[in-house]
Every structure is written in structure tokens, then in C-alpha cells.
């Protein structure tokens, strides 16, 4: 499974990249708005740090402008994935842009039928949102399980990119289900390290080592 970081925080992205944990990055208008950063400049900076796909989302909702914006975003760097909403015009634009050789990430997926549309349109990635489904009382991970099963029945090249990840359990469940990618905020990625027995065991080993009076260096 690949890990994408859902963030526009270049400091955090660099830190996680140096650990070898980042295979790509996803961004969205909300992250940009909260950061107060310039969108195009931020995407360029991230692409310079991360070798894998960096999703940059169009602002348009009509087909023609989606195409124009998508092409402009793709010119920023070779690893830009054009992010489009999973609406009729988004699927249509995906078909066009994918046929031109661009990576496309169809986002805001909340059903298996939408995921099928993304695959049929030639999207490189489809992003089902698990956390937002959980918020309305629907088990988000059930969608991931269903999409992975359906895609396995065919030779779709579209990868399942699990989005709206809220906790480490989402990551583990996605891995067990065979999802291709999870995109998670840095705060959740750091939590993957945590286990009380690891900390307890480390403190015990350090205390015992201290008793030996030895040094490695």
C-alpha cells in the first residue's frame, strides 16, 4: 500500500518524505484556504519535494474550464495529478484529459457506482471518502471493501485511493481490504507509530542497558 499525505504543509511533507513514508500528496481547496497560501506556488513547491503524484484540484465545474484549468495545473510539474469532482462534467473532463496522457484523480466518491464511472473514464485514481460517510452514520470502510472487490472483477487500471481518513484503524482496514493507496493527514500518519507497549518496552530496555555500564560508541 502507498501512503499519500493529505496536506499543503511543506515542512511536514518534507519531514515525512525524509523518513521514506510519502509516496504522493493530495491537496484540496479547503486545505489551501486554511493555509492562506498561493495555490499554484504551493503545488509547485510540493512537486519539487515529492517524486510521486501530487493531486491539484480544479476550481471550475463546467467542462470547458475544467479542461483549461486541468491542463494549466498539469504544466506545473510532470507529477501533477489533475483532481476533478465526480460529477458529470468531471467524468467527461477526465475522459478527455486521460486520453491526452494526464493523470486524473476523481474525487468526492461516495458510492460504488461513482467509482465505476471513474474507472470507465480512465481515471488514474478514484478517491472514496470514508470519514464523511462515517459522519452521516454509514460505514465508510464498507464502500472501500465493495469498490476493491468490484475492481478486482475487471482489468481496471484505476487505483483505489482511500480519502477522508480519520484514524489509524482506517489505514489498517484499507490495507486488509487491498486498497492501493491511503491519503492521510500528517497527524494520523504520525499516530501509526504509537503503541503503549512499544514505549514501555523501550524504557525497560534503556533502563537495563544503563545497568550494564557499557557504551556502543
One digit per residue, the tens of pLDDT, for the chain of length 217 reads 999 999 999 999 999 999 999 999 999 999 999 999 999 999 999 999 999 999 999 999 999 999 999 999 999 999 999 999 999 999 999 999 999 999 999 999 999 999 999 999 999 999 999 999 999 999 999 999 999 999 999 989 999 999 999 999 999 999 999 999 999 999 999 999 999 999 999 999 999 999 999 999 9
- Asked if 90 and 64 count as a contact pair (C-beta separation under 8 A), the reply is no
Residue 20, SS3? coil
Q: Which residues are catalytic?
A: 83
Q: Which CATH number fits domain 2-212: 3.30.200.20, 3.30.1960.10, 3.20.20.70, 3.90.1150.10?
A: 3.20.20.70
Rounded to whole angstroms, the Cα distance separating 49 from 157 reads: 26
Query: In whole angstroms, how far apart are CA 74 and each of 9, 32, 140, 146?
Result: 21, 18, 31, 31
| pTM exceeds 0.85 | yes
Q: Which residue has the cell 499516530?
A: 191
Rounded to whole angstroms, the Cα distance separating 193 from 176 reads: 18
Burial profile 108-136: b = 16 or more Cβ within 10 angstroms, e = fewer: bbbebebbbbbbebbbbbbbbbbeebbee
E strands within 64-204? 80-85, 103-109, 125-128, 159-162, 181-184
Q: Domain map of the chain by residue range?
A: 2-212
Amino acid at each position: 500500500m502507498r501512503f499519500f499525505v493529505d496536506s499543503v504543509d511543506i515542512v511536514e511533507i518534507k519531514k515525512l518524505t525524509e523518513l521514506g513514508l510519502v509516496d504522493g500528496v493530495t491537496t484540496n481547496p479547503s486545505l489551501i484556504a486554511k493555509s492562506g497560501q498561493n495555490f499554484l506556488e504551493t503545488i509547485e513547491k510540493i512537486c519539487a519535494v515529492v517524486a510521486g503524484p501530487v493531486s491539484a484540484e480544479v476550481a471550475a465545474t463546467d467542462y470547458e474550464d475544467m479542461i483549461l484549468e486541468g491542463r494549466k495545473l498539469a504544466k506545473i510539474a510532470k507529477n501533477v495529478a489533475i483532481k476533478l469532482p465526480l460529477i458529470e462534467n468531471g467524468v467527461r473532463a477526465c475522459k478527455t484529459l486521460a486520453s491526452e496522457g494526464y493523470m486524473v484523480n476523481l474525487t468526492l466518491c461516495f458510492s460504488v457506482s461513482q467509482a465505476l464511472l471513474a474507472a470507465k473514464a480512465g481515471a488514474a485514481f478514484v478517491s472514496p471518502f470514508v470519514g464523511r460517510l462515517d459522519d452521516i452514520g454509514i460505514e465508510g470502510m464498507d464502500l472501500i471493501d465493495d469498490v476493491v472487490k468490484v475492481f478486482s472483477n475487471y482489468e481496471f487500471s484505476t487505483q483505489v485511493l482511500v480519502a477522508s481518513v480519520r484514524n489509524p484503524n482506517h489505514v489498517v482496514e484499507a490495507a486488509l481490504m487491498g486498497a492501493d493507496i491511503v491519503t492521510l493527514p500528517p497527524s494520523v500518519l504520525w499516530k501509526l507509530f504509537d503503541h503503549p507497549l512499544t514505549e514501555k518496552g523501550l524504557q525497560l530496555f534503556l533502563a537495563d542497558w544503563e545497568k550494564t555500564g557499557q557504551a556502543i560508541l
